[in-house]
Amino acid sequence: MKLCVPIPCFFGSLPFEKAVEKVSSLGYEYVEIYDWRSLDLVSAANALKKSGVTMLSMCTTEFRLTDPKYRDMWARGIKESCEAARVLGVKKLITQVGPHTGAQREEQHKSVVDGLKAGAEILRRAGVTVMIEPLNTKVDHPGYYLTSSSEAFDIVREVGSENVKVVFDIYHQQISEGNIIPNITENLDLIAHLHAAGHPGRHELQFGENDYRNIFACVDKAGYKGACGLEYSPLADPEESLAEAKRIFG
């Protein structure tokens, strides 16, 4: 498994080019960001190339899949994000599905599926995968629609596109449902990326109730070949925290 550094979590106050240099100097090869619109794409692409760092994922510009009236806006955002991904060499986009609208869950579920189906051909032509993300509503995202990994997997199956997958955030799913190792290892064909943080607190992986060494070992043994983004707020100095993560988990 590869470890990936989300730039905003560790070096969000630095210009992107300097942040990438920091990441490279710590021996990491992979990064991700959230808002690609904050970047000068050409300058960022040059910085990635110069440092030898690969950007694995970034977010789409629109997240409201639960409401059909935003579907065209979401599709336009996918087109824009795929073009930015082409410049940056990114192959994966993260999209949240949006808030619970108050409509019946069946209606919202169908809206998410239909929206992803509408974007699947755009993604296929671009060679980019979009990843929906279940989140917890108990601590961080009250009012969000998609909390269950099983529903996320059902959505991906219903869409039926190799360009639509799940980003499985271990921190969020520990809060929402637990059963982390089976939920990952039994659904590797539907998962394109992992995120992780210690719970409670969303800090370093070693400061929480999950045994990440065992989780990673089991996921590796099951055949996962992707990356895990260290999506936490460090208690230690960011550089020290990443150096320690590499010693423990790298």
Query: Active-site residue numbers?
Result: 133, 231
Q: Which of 170, 185, 192 has its CA nearest to residue 95?
A: 192
In SS3 terms, 94-110 reads as EECCCECCCCCHHHHHH
- Which residue, 87, 124, 94, is CA-closest to 229? 94
**Pairing assessment for the beta strands 129-132 and 227-230 based on DSSP bridges:** unpaired
User: What are residue 182's phi and psi, to 5 degrees?
Assistant: -60, -40
Helix-, strand-, coil-residue percentages of the chain, each rounded to 5: 50, 15, 35
Whole-number Å distance between alpha carbons of 27 and 25: 5
Residue 25 sits at the vertex; the CA angle it makes with 23 and 28, to the nearest 5 degrees, is: 50
**What φ, ψ does residue 167 adopt, rounded to 5°?**
-100, 120
